[in-house]
Copies of this chain bind each other. A is one copy, B any other.
Amino acid sequence: MPRLSYRKALTRALADELARDERVFLLGEDIRVAASHVTAGLFTRFGPERVLDTPLSEQAFTSFATGAALAGMRPVVEFQIPSLLFLVFEQIVNHAHKFPLMTGGQCAAPVTYLVPGSGSRTGWAGQHSDHPYSLFAHVGIVTAVPATPTDAYGLLVSAIRHDDPVVVFAPAGALDVREDVDFAALAPVPLGRGVVRRAGDDVTVVAVGHLVHDALAVAEELAGQVSVEVFDPRTLYPFDLDGLCASVARTGRLVVVDDSNRSCGIAAEIIASIVERVPLAAPPRRVTRPDGAVLPFAPGLDRAVQPGRAALTAAIHLVTKDGT
């Protein structure tokens, strides 16, 4: 089977949707020459009417996308840096998101916001290394964080076809993941549906984005001692609570590993949602960035602030220590 890289999966999703639906168009900075690689070849194939390079005016082009969506288009906006979402937070949260309700159902704002390379890009330091997906889960914007090439393809396609705004985070830590893929089988992945990546009996580990791969590695490592189930929610909002409950109801133990800040992060949400519904055999644990994290530049410091395998292993041991 051919190998598909995560980055190419994004490109393919964009190309397929551009080809399928005239209403789809892309806009962002340096997307013609594909500085982020994600739009490679698309300008040549689809032309300047479908692939728009913008000035450095994130607020205006984000709202331009909103307006185009209100008028019937399906824009995809690429952002070069995760923190640019801070800059357009008002435009997304206070406008695109609110238009349908505020107008009493007169319109929809189907915009996709794509961030290729979210989270730490080693060496890019404090203002370029955020992972702000929990913010969007809080405000209630559909938020997808694909972990694999297949999901990157399928979730991006679903995002573009979705009638509300969707933010797709493509973690820097996942961009180089490759997968054997039957191209004909690539398909939309439903928003709001998680997947068990590895079955296990003793503890459910929920891992977000690139951390799915770390969780799988840790699960392998622990295979002799602890039977770890790895749950990949794929979409953080809406969250597949039924899917996760089914897993946790079996294992009775929960660890969440997530690359956003601890306080009010998705890990807190997952834990709260589970303990409201499922009795646990041990207190749940989370492995996250620290509160208020700012990623320092030096690689050793940068790594120290991110959730890693050692911390996850420790958390698993903690929740399973009273035996299974």
Cβ contact within 8 Å between A138 and B134: yes
Contacts of A273 in B (CB 8 A): 268
Q: How many copies does the complex hold?
A: 2
Cβ contact within 8 Å between B94 and A90: no
Contacts of A240 in B (CB 8 A): none
Cβ contact within 8 Å between A98 and B269: no
- Identify which of A17-25, A177-185, A279-287 touches chain B: A279-287
Q: Once bound together, how far apart are the Cα atoms of A306 and B97, in whole Å? A: 18
Question: Closest residue to A275 on the B side, CB-wise?
Answer: B275
Cβ contact within 8 Å between B140 and A138: no
Residue among B102, B138, B286 making CB contact with A127, cutoff 8 Å = B102
Cβ contact within 8 Å between A138 and B284: no
Cβ contact within 8 Å between A264 and B268: yes
Q: Which of A221-279 contact B (CB under 8 A)?
A: 237-239, 260-261, 263-269, 271-273, 275-277, 279
Residue among B137, B138, B265 making CB contact with A260, cutoff 8 Å = B138
Cβ contact within 8 Å between A276 and B284: yes
Contacts of A266 in B (CB 8 A): 264
Is A123 an interface position by the 8 A CB rule?
Answer: no
Most buried by B among A272, A277, A294: A272
Cβ contact within 8 Å between B83 and A90: yes
Question: Closest residue to A279 on the B side, CB-wise?
Answer: B283
Q: Given the known A-B contacts A101-B126, A269-B264, A284-B275, are A292 and B87 also in contact in the complex, defined by CB atoms under 8 Å?
A: no
Beyond the given A102-B297, A140-B261, please list 13 additional residue pairs across the A-B interface where CB-CB is below 8 A. A87-B90, A89-B89, A98-B126, A102-B294, A134-B264, A135-B264, A138-B264, A140-B291, A267-B272, A268-B269, A268-B273, A271-B276, A277-B283
Q: List 29 A-B contacts (CB under 8 A).
A: A83-B93, A86-B89, A87-B90, A97-B292, A98-B126, A98-B127, A101-B294, A137-B263, A137-B264, A138-B138, A138-B260, A138-B263, A138-B264, A138-B265, A139-B261, A140-B261, A140-B291, A140-B292, A263-B269, A264-B265, A267-B272, A268-B268, A268-B269, A268-B271, A269-B272, A271-B271, A271-B275, A272-B286, A276-B286
